Amino acid sequence: MIDPLQNVEDLEIDLLLEGVYRLFGQDFRGYRRESVRRRLHALMRGAGLNTVSALQEGVLHDPAAADLLLRALSIQPAALFDDPMYFQTLREVMVPWLRSCPSPKVWVAECVAPEEVCELAILLAEEGLYERTQIFATAANESLLEEARAGEFALDRWPEYAENYRKCGGKADLAQYCHEDHGKGVFSKELRANVTWAQYSLATDASFNEFQLIVCRNALSDFGTALHRRTLQLFYDSMPLFGILSVDSEEGLNAVPFVSRYKAIAEGQGLYRRVV
């Protein structure tokens, strides 16, 4: 039996996402509905609201409420070197490939925290590749992108980050790449020197360069079928033969046409090489 209240809420969500797109230019319309609903409900509970329409009223008229919503719907960042085995594998496969490229380019898509860029920059620096590699960090949310550009992180995460770095085969002391400033951890300016930050939407924008490595580890699982497929096609169009793709899920790469375009590098690590 169809739940009429569910139908009403689906309509409310449609209207909210359309309004967000028109007012703020951020397109969440292609996200998985259950993922969006879960995050909206969390916001509603926090604000003591009973309906998505009530949430929408605040979002449309209160900049602070709008910022909270955009942050809640954006991809949630991971910790520095959050999966040591993955980073060990990434180092092993990307280093010989990038060394063979005259001017390697790396794209970190939906980058909403400095950790996502700086962990790659550290690996590249330790392999003597950073100086000649250009990293492009993009995200749809301009505020989160600006915060990531500042390179700051919570100082209480330092022990966790240092341990993750050690486990993934770090070749130095993590303190070499960070310092404390006014109660916050900050990644060094040198580590962020070769990074270009740009607002970019996977939902609406086109391919803008060719990249030897594309990393998008925390986004695809939130995307609906059409957006998921569009993103994978965009990545395919943005890399050369033998380019490396790092994603958070195998879903979609095992389907036509992508199953014939990529070869898995390591089982369960979300690392693939373009072969066609």
Domain coordinates of the chain in residue numbers?
A: 4-73, 84-274
What is the Cα–Cα distance from 98 to 136, expressed in whole angstroms?
A: 15
The Cα-based distances of 119 to 17, 25, 80, 263 in angstroms read 33, 29, 6, 24
Helix H or strand E encompassing 146: helix 142-150
Read out DSSP for 21-77?
HHHH----TTB-HHHHHHHHHHHHHHHT-SSHHHHHHHHHH-HHHHHHHHHHHSPPP
The single residue listed with the structure tokens 């990644």 is 187
pLDDT tens track of the chain, all 276 residues? 556 667 899 999 999 999 999 999 999 999 999 999 999 999 999 999 999 999 999 999 999 999 999 999 998 888 999 999 999 999 999 999 999 999 999 999 999 999 999 999 999 999 999 999 999 999 999 999 999 999 999 999 999 999 999 999 999 999 999 999 999 999 999 999 999 999 999 999 999 999 999 999 989 999 999 999 999 999 999 999 999 999 986 667 877 899 899 999 987 899 999 999
User: What is the pLDDT, as a whole number, of residue 255?
Assistant: 79
Q: Any bridge partners for residue 107, and if so which?
A: 136, 214
Nearest Cα residue to 244 out of 256, 234, 233, 236: 236
User: What is the pLDDT, as a whole number, of residue 61?
Assistant: 95
Sequence letter at residue 276: V
CATH homologous superfamily for the domain 84-274 = Vaccinia Virus protein VP39 (3.40.50.150)
User: What is the pLDDT, as a whole number, of residue 128?
Assistant: 97
pTM score:
0.95
What is the Cα–Cα distance from 16 to 80, expressed in whole angstroms?
A: 33
Confirm if 85 and 79 have CB atoms less than 8 A apart: no
User: What is the pLDDT, as a whole number, of residue 266?
Assistant: 83
Query: Which residues fall within 8 angstroms of residue 118, CB to CB, at 6 or more apart?
Result: 80, 151, 177, 187, 191, 192
